[in-house]
A = this chain, B = another copy of it.
Amino acid sequence: MKNITIYDIAKEAEVSVSTVSRVLNNTAPVKASTKDTIMKVIEKYKFQPNALARSLIKKETGTIAMIVPDMTNPFFPEVFWGSENEGREKGYTFFLCNSAGEYSRESEYLSILLERRVEGLIFIGGRINLADCPPELIREVTEAAEAIPVVLVNGNLSKGSLHRVYTDEAAGAALAAQHLIDLGHKEIAFVGGLDYMTTTMQKVKAVKKKLKEHGLSLRSDWVHYGEFSITAGRELMNRLLNGEQRPTAVICVNDFTAIGAMKAAIERGLKIPEDLSIVGFDDSPLSTAVIPELTTVTQNAYELGRLAVERIYQIIHGKPAKRSTVLQPELVIRQSTGRAPQKNGD
């Protein structure tokens, strides 16, 4: 499995390495007969010009990396797909790095990716969603951003000094709350998400604000924080339903927890949406897989991924790149929300 190098080609073609290089990279004219000889040797050995060698000269690696917290949540593969399609046309190949939400793993990947000289880095989830990120974790990212273009997706760090593309999650949560209020709901709960993550707290804050505009409030015993998984959604919903009073509608931090919440409610014999309306967040493929289909908020996952690569490309090529790009979410009304039930006392 010996790798043929440019030196082997040059030796067999009886020319200098720089002549072979000129043919491979089309950097200067080479006599036709010489070129012919070289090409024959190249074909004979099926020689692949070494991208590493070329990139060392050009200082380009043609690689972009994405750090994600959890590829089993279908939101992230969709962001990746948007990035890959946009980058592929521009000649980029993508490293994918799962942090599993562990900050130490994020740090490890940041260091490895810089060493691999990736030309850009897309960062989603993990530390960039911390409401109060420790300075040393921030520093690692800002230092990376001094070396290469870094774009944060749906997060923030370092007071907005880094490039960001994000969906206005607060606006999305407000849309969900408004939808429920329009359906006559007054008793609305919030389920899922860790309370130290901005992706959770922005939504809770927006729901509170929207309710207040309508003279309503979010009862503290109707807010249940936890992980972002189906299992967590189920547990948190059970905790909510074990309470003395139950709400008529629940807004969940994402589709995963919404599906878990639906399962818990149905297992207790509740009908959705007749007894209880449920709203998710993300509009992942899961939302149409369940019965009833989930009313949710679309995050434009594909477009977020695409825009992140567009920004990296603009920065690399010295073009004007918007520091911050916000996408407006949309409410997707399906089957899991309906008119508030008429209650006879409680």
A-side residues, CB < 8 A to B, are 1, 3, 46, 48-53, 55-56, 59, 61-63, 65, 71-72, 74, 77-78, 80-81, 84, 93-98, 109, 112-117, 143, 146-148, 230, 259, 262-263, 266, 285-286, 288-291
Do A72 and B61 touch (CB < 8 A)? no
A62 to chain B, nearest CB (A): 8
Contact of A72 among B49, B77, B290 (CB under 8 A): B77
Contact of A95 among B94, B286, B291 (CB under 8 A): B94
Q: How far is the CA of A143 from the CA of B81 in the complex (A)?
A: 28
How many copies the complex holds: the figure is 2
Which residues of chain B are near A53, meaning CB under 8 Å?
56
Which residues of chain B are near A97, meaning CB under 8 Å?
84, 93-94
Give the most central of A94, A116, A117, A266: most B CB within 10 Å: A116
A57 to chain B, nearest CB (A): 10
Q: How far is the CA of A46 from the CA of B111 in the complex (A)?
A: 12
Do B71 and A80 touch (CB < 8 A)? yes
Do B51 and A289 touch (CB < 8 A)? no
Do B93 and A95 touch (CB < 8 A)? yes
Which residues of chain B are near A266, meaning CB under 8 Å?
291
Given contacts A96-B94, A116-B51, contact A3 B147 (CB under 8 A): yes
Q: How far is the CA of A292 from the CA of B49 in the complex (A)?
A: 54
